[in-house]
């Protein structure tokens, strides 16, 4: 009975993750807490977030791999979100490409990254610029989150109502 309930919760969490591709990744480090919006994809309950290589979040994860990912449901009539606490691992796309990795899974392509063509927006063409030779693996890293606890908060069920999956 308990197993069946946990399997249903697991399915609801996976469905929620698949339907909402943007979240807020929070870390802590020597200079305190840090958060940034991220695009992600999930494979079951495991989550891969795409972040810029220069982001402070990457530095903080190197110091302390504990993270919190918040995924809001903006379409719900009441406040509803998913909270994943887990351990993060940085995957350098120049050395380690996750199985089945497609940059399009994250809703990003070369044309959406202003740092790939900095001179184009200014109306200047400079093919000698080192910035024009960057590829997406040079600009982004993947943060793989292995969940340790997942909370599905649904205030349509009452203030603070939550279902928890401890892994």
Q: Give Cα separations from 63 to 73, 87, 123, 143 (angstroms).
A: 30, 12, 40, 14
- Note whether 105 and 43 are within 8 A (CB): no
Give the model confidence (pLDDT) of 43-95 as tens digits: 999 999 999 988 999 999 999 999 999 999 978 777 899 999 999 999 887 77
Structure confidence at residue 120 (pLDDT): 41
pLDDT at 128: 47
For residue 118, what pLDDT is reported? Answer: 40
| pLDDT at 29 exceeding the cut of 90 | no
Task: Look at 10 and 120; give whichever has higher pLDDT.
Answer: 10
- 99-146 pLDDT tens trace: 666 777 777 665 544 443 343 444 444 444 444 455 667 788 899 999
Work out the burial of residue 5: count CB atoms within 10 Å of its CB; fewer than 13 is exposed, 13-18 middle, 19 or more buried.
exposed
Residues 129, 7 contacting (CB under 8 angstroms): no
pTM for the full predicted model: 0.80
* pLDDT for 127: 47
CA separation for the pair 124, 117 (Å, rounded)? 10
What class has domain 2-107+130-166?
A: mainly beta
Cα–Cα–Cα angle for 45, 56, 28, nearest 5°? 65
Beta bridge partners of 22: 39
DSSP SS3 for 85 = strand
pLDDT, residue 93, reads: 77
Per domain, the residue ranges of the chain are 2-107+130-166
């Amino acid at each position: 009975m308990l197993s069946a309930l946990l399997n249903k919760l697991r399915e609801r969490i996976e469905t929620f993750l698949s339907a909402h591709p943007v979240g807020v990744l929070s870390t802590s480090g020597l200079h305190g807490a840090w958060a940034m919006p991220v695009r992600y994809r999930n494979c079951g309950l495991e989550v891969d977030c795409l972040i810029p290589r220069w982001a402070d979040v990457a530095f903080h994860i190197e110091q302390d791999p504990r993270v919190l990912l918040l995924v809001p449901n903006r379409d719900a009539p009441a406040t509803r979100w998913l909270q994943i606490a887990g351990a993060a691992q940085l995957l350098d796309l120049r050395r380690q490409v996750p199985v089945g990795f497609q940059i399009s899974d994250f809703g990003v392509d070369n044309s959406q990254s202003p740092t790939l063509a900095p001179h184009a927006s200014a109306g200047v063409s400079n093919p000698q610029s080192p910035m024009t030779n960057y590829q997406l693996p040079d600009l982004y890293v993947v943060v793989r989150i292995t969940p340790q606890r997942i909370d599905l908060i649904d205030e349509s069920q009452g203030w603070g109502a939550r279902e928890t999956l401890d892994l």
